[in-house]
Amino acid sequence: MLSSPPQRVQASLGCLSGDAWSDNIGWIDFQCPNVVVQNDGTITGAAWANPSDDVAGTQNIGWISFNAADTASCGTGGAKITGTALSGWAKAISADNNGWDGCIRLSGTAGDGSSYGITLPGGTSASGDLAGNAWGSDVVGWISFNGTATNGSAYKVTFTATYIPPPTMTVGSFYANPTRVRKGGTSTLYYTVTNPPASCTITGSNGFSAAVSPVDGVQGSVATNAITAATQFTITCGSISSSANVGIVPTYREL
């Protein structure tokens, strides 16, 4: 059974799942939501290098963290997806720095001068498979994110985009006070809108029109023009609208 991974933050863009492969330590398991991608592309959380898959018979690797706090000793900035490329570091947090610092570089230049790295060809705008290699020094060696293992098993690490629907806009309340006025009098319209647009429009069947800028969840108000007959007022925020009516107080005459 896996122990709890290092602390992570709730995903905003999506998460990583699947398996990467190292000829030295075997499978590295990515699970959603253990490894997540934040709004700014920062990668947080950790993948698991299962010791039962340790093909070299070395010590347990365990959690490989992408959190900036854990990788600070490797380099600044943590791990991040920018455009279609991954940069920064991951780190095996069980490393004791006695012969191995646990640092795994996600992109760089190999000893022969060739470049390496992990890419997400479609970027984070849609789900897709990662490709390429990271380098974990002599202990972990090359880590491949998409390919076929020496035992013939195909593997890949996949980014799954998480759709977060926009906040729902609602007109929580819209009413007039008073609801009846003497002919030629005015009323006040009160409105409350959650997740409002920059501007809403209030109109009246008597020709009244006013643009208002609601503050999320905060009641606002606007005075009407002169009301000479029963009038319906409507607030419109995008495709959402609500109405309120104001009537006229009857005029009585002595006979």
10: pLDDT confidence band, cut at 50, 70 and 90? very low
Q: Which of 161, 196, 212 is the last residue of a domain?
A: 161
For residues 92 and 26, membership in a common domain is answered with yes
Name the strand (E) or helix (H) holding 70: helix 68-71
- Domain boundaries, position 214: 170-248
Give the pair of three-digit tokens for residue 163. 């759709």
If you average pLDDT over residues 57-62, what whole number do you get? 62
- Would you state the torsion angle of the CA atoms of residues 92, 97, 103, 109, taken in this order, to the nearest 10 degrees? -150
For residues 87 and 204, membership in a common domain is answered with no
Q: Work out whether the CA dihedral 139, 141, 143, 149 comes out positive or negative.
A: negative
For residues 122 and 184, membership in a common domain is answered with no
For residues 40 and 94, membership in a common domain is answered with yes
For residues 175 and 154, membership in a common domain is answered with no
pLDDT at 94: 84
Residue 69 inside a domain? The answer is yes
Residue 125 inside a domain? The answer is yes
**Which of 197, 200, 241 is CA-nearest to residue 232?**
241
Residue 1 inside a domain? The answer is no
Q: Which of 141, 161, 181 is the last residue of a domain?
A: 161
Q: Check which CATH number belongs to the domain holding 185 and give it.
A: 2.60.40.10
Kindly report, residue by residue over 154-179, the tens digit of the pLDDT. 999 999 998 666 678 999 999 999 99
pLDDT at 3: 54
Q: How far from 184 is each of 162, 171, 233, CA to CA, in Å?
A: 55, 28, 16
Residue 8 inside a domain? The answer is no
If you average pLDDT over residues 4-29, what whole number do you get? 78
For residues 89 and 188, membership in a common domain is answered with no
52: pLDDT confidence band, cut at 50, 70 and 90? low
Residue 174 inside a domain? The answer is yes
For residues 185 and 222, membership in a common domain is answered with yes
Kindly report, residue by residue over 184-219, the tens digit of the pLDDT. 999 999 999 999 999 999 999 999 999 999 999 999
For residues 213 and 117, membership in a common domain is answered with no
For residues 99 and 39, membership in a common domain is answered with yes
Give the pair of three-digit tokens for residue 59. 């010590």
Cα 182 to the center of its chain, rounded Å: 53
For residues 175 and 109, membership in a common domain is answered with no
Residue 74 inside a domain? The answer is yes
Degrees to nearest 5, angle at CA 38 with 33 and 41: 125
Kindly report, residue by residue over 88-106, the tens digit of the pLDDT. 999 998 887 777 899 999 9
Q: Which of 161, 196, 214 is the last residue of a domain?
A: 161
Question: Is 2's pLDDT higher than 60?
Answer: no
How many separate domains does the chain show?
2
For residues 123 and 221, membership in a common domain is answered with no
Pairing of strands 240-248, 180-181: parallel
Name the strand (E) or helix (H) holding 32: none
For residues 123 and 204, membership in a common domain is answered with no
Residue 78 inside a domain? The answer is yes
**Which of 8, 9, 10, 13 is CA-nearest to residue 163?**
13
Residue 7 inside a domain? The answer is no
> Can you tell me which residue has the tokens 């898959």?
53
